[in-house]
């Protein structure tokens, strides 16, 4: 899946911070594997971006929801 950051950030903003998460892609290590960003839609989670590093996925969510990550 190619990543359109503008569209991804708009979908995260629309869903809200509490309905966005970064999770390891299926079959990937939580430590060094690739991540995907999911948003909660109805009763399930939909992938909006995949193939990202953990830090990039967290940064995209933080930027979209205007949260600051310290540390």
- Domain holding 48, by residue range, is 5-64
pLDDT in tens, 11-51: 999 999 899 999 999 988 888 889 999 999 999 999 999 99
Which residues sit opposite 39 in a β-bridge?
20, 46
Give the count of domains, the chain.
Answer: 1
Q: Is residue 42 part of a domain?
A: yes
- Whole-model pTM: value is 0.85
Instruction: Extract the tokens encoding 2.
Output: 């190619």
What pLDDT, on the 0 to 100 scale, is given for residue 58? 93
Q: Quote the CA–CA distance of 17 and 46 in Å, as a whole number.
A: 15
Q: Is residue 70 part of a domain?
A: no
Q: Is residue 69 part of a domain?
A: no
Q: Quote the CA–CA distance of 27 and 33 in Å, as a whole number.
A: 9
């Amino acid at each position: 899946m190619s990543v359109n950051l503008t569209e991804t950030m708009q979908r995260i903003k629309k869903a809200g911070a509490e309905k966005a998460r970064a999770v390891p892609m299926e079959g990937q290590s939580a430590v060094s594997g690739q991540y995907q960003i999911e948003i909660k839609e109805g009763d399930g989670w939909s992938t909006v971006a995949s193939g990202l590093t953990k830090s990039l996925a967290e940064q995209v969510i933080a930027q979209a929801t205007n949260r600051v990550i310290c540390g």
